[in-house]
Amino acid sequence: MSLIVTGTIGIDTVVTPNGHGEKILGGSCTYFAAAANFYGPVRLVAAVGGDFPAEFLGTLGHFRGIDLHGLEVRKNSKTFAWGGKYHADMNTRDTLFTELGVLAEAPPKVPALYADSTIVFLANTHPGVQLGFLDQLPKRVFTVADTMDLWINIAKDELKALLKRVDGLVLNFDEAELFTGKSNPVTAGRHMLDMGPKFVVIKKGEHGALLVHRDGIAAVPAYPTENVVDPTGCGDTFAGGMMGSIAATSPSDGAAAGSYDSVRRALVHGTIIASFNIEAFSLDRLKTLDKKTLDARYAEYAAMMRV
């Protein structure tokens, strides 16, 4: 099925205990699409400003599966820029600065060419904007949205409206707790199921992810690694591997795409691709990753999980 992602492309400045990256390619759409690309084609809808470096376009173009027809370059605008600094444990970070740029303008439009998209990922942005994207995708059969604490705090009603219209929600554990007031992740997940979606994926960083689906629960551990350079984009590459693998294995049926077993297996693909992303800044690791190396780590993980 045809996979589409809407979200941000940004210029990041990232400081971690193991190094730093100055004005590097980032953004939720960027990481998602680069990861999904390993499973099949992915359509991208995002906006950048006239300051967006040609070099970054070249990097995106390197991923042959990424369809860039939906990339709006706004000559007189500025690209979204973000700076963050990770703490010693790599699990938490402080935002150093946020320059909204194009994100403060009207959201990009879904091109007519993409109107037949069936599998939709709404990367993290204002839930009102996410709802606007949904209205432009009448052929969608399977939709998953990401969100964050900011929208839970300032746009809870729109987020609840969104939840009635998506199959799945992806968010961090802290955000799930904030949203539901429940500190048990299974309870928090069930609480969100009551708001509409068929499943919720609660991300726990190095502790992996928890799937709370109407048809079952699953804990998916992260791939254990010592090679942690930059966690930025791991949530988005996780989602990219998840949605990419679903698009590749669910030829036409939204129900099959969203089944407990389909989503559970997809989380493993997400986990594995994210474990590569964390090994370098920006897309540096995914740029050099080949399918054989990806498959080998998947097999290693599968062996580790065999009960």
Query: Which of 165, 221, 279, 284 touches its own copies (CB under 8 A)?
Result: 221
Decide if residue 307 touches its own copies (CB under 8 A).
yes
State the DSSP string of 41-92. -EEEEEEEETT--HHHHHHHHHSTTEE-TTEEEETTS--EEEEEEE-TTSS-
Q: What SS3 state is found at 280? A: coil
Decide if residue 46 touches its own copies (CB under 8 A).
no
Residue 97's φ and ψ, nearest 5 degrees, are -160, 160
Q: Which CB sits closer to its own copies, 109 or 190?
A: 190
Decide if residue 276 touches its own copies (CB under 8 A).
no
Torsion of CA 193, 196, 199, 202, to 10 degrees: -60
Q: Which positions from 87 through 126 interact with its own copies, judged by CB under 8 A?
A: 88-90
β-pair type (216-220, 209-213) = antiparallel
Whole-number minimum distance, CB 54 to its own copies, in Å? 37
Whole-number minimum distance, CB 264 to its own copies, in Å? 7
Q: Which CB sits closer to its own copies, 150 or 302?
A: 302
Decide if residue 161 touches its own copies (CB under 8 A).
no
Decide if residue 264 touches its own copies (CB under 8 A).
yes
Residue 40 carries which DSSP code?
S
Q: Quote the tokens at residue 289.
A: 């990753």
Decide if residue 215 touches its own copies (CB under 8 A).
no
Whole-number minimum distance, CB 297 to its own copies, in Å? 12
Decide if residue 18 touches its own copies (CB under 8 A).
no
- Give percent helix, percent strand, percent coil of the chain, each to the nearest 5: 40, 25, 35
Whole-number minimum distance, CB 186 to its own copies, in Å? 5
Q: What SS3 state is found at 117? A: coil
Q: Near its own copies by CB under 8 A, which window of 100-108, 133-141, 180-188, 192-200?
A: 180-188
Query: Residue 266: what residue type?
Result: A
Query: Which of 39, 52, 142, 223 touches its own copies (CB under 8 A)?
Result: 223
Whole-number minimum distance, CB 93 to its own copies, in Å? 15
Please state, in angstroms and rounded to a whole number, the distance separating the CA atoms of residues 179 and 255: 27
Decide if residue 204 touches its own copies (CB under 8 A).
yes
Strand locations in the chain, DSSP E?
Answer: 3-6, 10-16, 19-26, 42-49, 66-67, 71-74, 80-86, 93-99, 119-122, 142-146, 168-172, 199-203, 209-213, 216-220
Q: Near its own copies by CB under 8 A, which window of 43-51, 103-111, 131-139, 214-222?
A: 214-222
Decide if residue 31 touches its own copies (CB under 8 A).
no
Residue 106 carries which DSSP code?
P
Please state, in angstroms and rounded to a whole number, the distance separating the CA atoms of residues 15 and 13: 7
Q: Which CB sits closer to its own copies, 173 or 281?
A: 173
Q: Which CB sits closer to its own copies, 90 or 256?
A: 90
Q: Which CB sits closer to its own copies, 8 or 277?
A: 277
Decide if residue 287 touches its own copies (CB under 8 A).
no
Positions touching its own copies (CB under 8 A) are 88-90, 183-187, 190, 204, 206-208, 210, 216-226, 228, 264-265, 268, 298, 301-302, 304-307
